[in-house]
Amino acid sequence: MSTDGPQDPEHLTRIFLTRVVEPGDEIAGRWLREYGAEEVARRLRDAGPRLPGVSEKRWAGLLARAARADPERDRAAAQAAGVRFLCPGGAEWPAQLDDLGDARPIGLWVRGQPGLRLWALRSVAIVGSRACTEYGAHMAATLSAGLAERGWIVVSGGAYGIDGAAHRGALAAAGATVAVLACGVDRPYPRGHAGLITRIAEQGLVIGELPPGDHPTPSRFLVRNRVIAALTRGTVVVEAALRSGSLVTARAAQRLGRFTMGVPGPATSGLSAGVHELLRGEAVLVTDAADIVELVGDIGQLAPDRRGPVLPRDLLEPAARRVLAALPGSGTASADEVARGAQTTEDDAVGRLYELRSLGFVERHSDGWKLTRQAVTSVRQDHVQC
């Protein structure tokens, strides 16, 4: 079990392995589980006997990487950039990442001051399309700000679109956010987000599996998403087309038993088609931060009941409301007609009508009773709410 410090013998070994093995490699993960990090590293350094599960060609490729790896140089570069390295089992290691099994990260590079383990315990992922709409960006920022105001950590991938909006929303609310990168944490990507990622590192955390200076690739973006899913209590997809990478995060969250949520969009929007597909399955529809907290939070953190504004007629007793509802929208009605519509006696209807008149809902005319303008407005508002 690692002590998660530079003096731990396994610390430098795992730094070496992050330079040799690709993130999410389950074959390598099985090696680590069955042989231990030291033995795996020894065979790679010394071109020892080939480990099981890989071809000669692939083993040769790993040996070539191992020959160029310099963990001391990587550790020095990380320290110069204010980056630390976490090993599984260490004091700051988030135990929920262990749910990934053999796909668990070999280690994590972390830039920023807060402790990752404690932050991850109260975190939610907000992900979605890079080419998002104004609606999607607005929803991502609003949800993140609401979560931040409630003391939750917002986790995303630092990319353009929904990711960037989510990070900015949390930062604008003076909240906490974590960016999980598919490259070295010392080289912000995309370059257009260099300022944003620097700000995240100052106010929150920037983390990743790849050693300093390493570059992103399409496959690394996809495997990065499993870390976002495993690290958090739940994943919210704001906007996503049917082939969006953010759906990979959502499906990973479902496999891991995490909460999966989606923000609905226009039925005509292709950028919401992937979200709607999730919502047809096991994902839960959410529209604000209260919805999210109700799902992922502790018992008692419930969203408020949702209802429209209180109308004057809502304050009436049920019997009086039935009499009021029995009056026509225009014209008059006799007490007998009102009684039949309210399913009561004529005497009871007359008594309720005089009560309603005193409250300004009805007027008495020679040929019967009719609604006042106030009552007509109240009825129309009630219909709008339905």
* Total length of the chain: 386
Strands (E), the chain: 83-86, 108-111, 123-127, 153-156, 177-181, 205-208, 234-237, 259-262, 284-285, 362-365, 368-371
Q: What are the tens digits of pLDDT across the range 34-63?
A: 999 999 999 999 998 999 999 999 999 999
pLDDT at 355 over 80: no
Residue where a domain terminates, one of 253, 270, 296: 296
C-alpha–C-alpha distance, residues 65 and 60, integer Å: 9
**Residue bearing the bigger pLDDT, 354 or 94:** 94
Q: 36-40, 85-89, 158-162, 334-338 — which is least confidently predicted?
A: 334-338
pLDDT at 309 over 60: no
237 and 357 assigned to the same domain: no
Residue 307 covered by a domain: no
pLDDT at 311 over 70: no
* Mean of per-residue pLDDT scores for the chain: 89
pLDDT at 305: 53
374 and 246 assigned to the same domain: no
Q: 26-40, 109-123, 325-339 — which is least confidently predicted?
A: 325-339
Q: Are 83 and 110 in contact (CB under 8 A)?
A: yes
Pairing of strands 362-365, 368-371: antiparallel
pLDDT at 383 over 70: no
218 and 333 assigned to the same domain: no
pLDDT at 159 over 80: yes
- The tally of CA atoms less than 13 A away on the side-chain side of residue 356 is 31
* Residue % of the chain over a pLDDT of 70: 90
CATH code: domain of residue 230? 3.40.50.450
Residue where a domain terminates, one of 296, 329, 360: 296
Average pLDDT on 174-191 reads 93
148 and 253 assigned to the same domain: yes
**Residue bearing the bigger pLDDT, 384 or 378:** 378
243 and 148 assigned to the same domain: yes
* Residue keyed to tokens 């496959």: 219
Phi, psi of 362, deg, nearest 5: -135, 160
pLDDT at 328: 87
224 and 274 assigned to the same domain: yes
Q: Are 75 and 7 in contact (CB under 8 A)?
A: no
Q: Are 109 and 212 in contact (CB under 8 A)?
A: yes
The SS3 of residue 156 is: strand
244 and 366 assigned to the same domain: no
Residue 31 covered by a domain: no
Residue 77 CB contacts under 8 Å (≥ 6 apart), including other chains: 186, 212, 213
Phi, psi of 127, deg, nearest 5: -135, 170
pLDDT at 377: 57
> Angle at the Cα of 385 (from 383 to 386), degrees rounded to 5?
65
pLDDT band per the 50, 70, 90 thresholds, residue 29: very high
228 and 343 assigned to the same domain: no
Residue 138 covered by a domain: yes
Residue 68 covered by a domain: no
144 and 176 assigned to the same domain: yes
**Residue bearing the bigger pLDDT, 187 or 153:** 153
Supply the range of the domain harboring residue 165. Answer: 107-296
Confirm whether pTM is higher than 0.75. Answer: yes
C-alpha–C-alpha distance, residues 302 and 121, integer Å: 19
Average pLDDT on 124-128 reads 98
pLDDT at 3 over 90: no
pLDDT at 188 over 90: no
Residue 38 covered by a domain: no
236 and 317 assigned to the same domain: no
Residue 19 covered by a domain: no
pLDDT at 110: 98
Residue 238 covered by a domain: yes
pLDDT at 302 over 80: no
Task: Find how far residue 268's CA is from the centre of its chain.
Answer: 23
pLDDT band per the 50, 70, 90 thresholds, residue 310: very low
C-alpha–C-alpha distance, residues 253 and 251, integer Å: 5
270 and 317 assigned to the same domain: no
> Angle at the Cα of 307 (from 303 to 309), degrees rounded to 5?
130
pLDDT band per the 50, 70, 90 thresholds, residue 351: confident
pLDDT at 169: 96
Residue 30 covered by a domain: no
Q: What are the tens digits of pLDDT across the range 229-259?
A: 999 999 999 999 998 889 999 999 999 999 9
pLDDT at 318: 84
* Residue % of the chain over a pLDDT of 90: 71
331 and 224 assigned to the same domain: no
pLDDT at 365: 82
CATH code: domain of residue 326? 1.10.10.10
Count of structural domains, the chain? 2
Residue where a domain terminates, one of 271, 296, 321: 296
